[in-house]
Structure 1
Amino acid sequence: MPESTSAKKTTLELVERLDEDVTFEDIMYELHVLQKIERGRRDAEEGRTVPHDEVEQRLDQWLT
């Protein structure tokens, strides 16, 4: 969700895109995914990320 777009507008656009027979659970899932994507974008913009090389090292440690 771009910063200039409000959560309300994004939600309304989402609901308009969904099929007529969508369930409440489907809507909640889609909103949850949008929220997680937005949080990830903010984290990336604010430098709260882990470099790819470090992720690979961590995975190697966890998987051995």
Structure 2
Amino acid sequence: MLVGIFHLLYNRPRLTKLKETLFMNTVKQEIELLLKNLPEDCSLEDIQYHLYVIEKYRQGITIADSERRLTQEEAEGLVSKWVIK
């Protein structure tokens, strides 16, 4: 999962597209898109997890747009605290 986050951070056009998609659609449209892309045999827990991730992503983007951004060193310091060695 962490690798996926770094991939998004380094792939700005894709991140921008994802940001535009999540913030230009209504919540109903986002859920319809999510359900369309999930497999037919997904569980309720799968749907809840994806909704949780979308909400956290939206919160993170909102915070990032409204607050000071971290330097590379600050971000690496935070990530190093999260990773179990």
Structure 1 portions without partners, runs of 5+: none
- Structure 2: which amino acid aligns with 1:22? C
- In terms of fraction of residues, the more helix-rich structure is 2
What root-mean-square deviation, in Å, do the aligned CA atoms of Structure 1 and Structure 2 show? Answer: 2.1
Larger RCO (CA within 8 A; separation ≥ 6): 1
Residues 14-33 of structure 1 mapped to structure 2, 5 A cutoff: 14-33=34-53
TM-score (norm 2): 0.57
Structure 2 portions without partners, runs of 5+: 1-21
TM-fit CA distance, 1:57: 5.6
Partners of 1:34 and 1:28 in 2: how far apart? 10
Q: Identify if the C-alpha distance between structure 1 residues 24 and 48 changes in structure 2 by more than 3 Å, giving closer, same or farther.
A: farther
Name the larger-Rg structure.
1
Length, aligned pairs only: 59
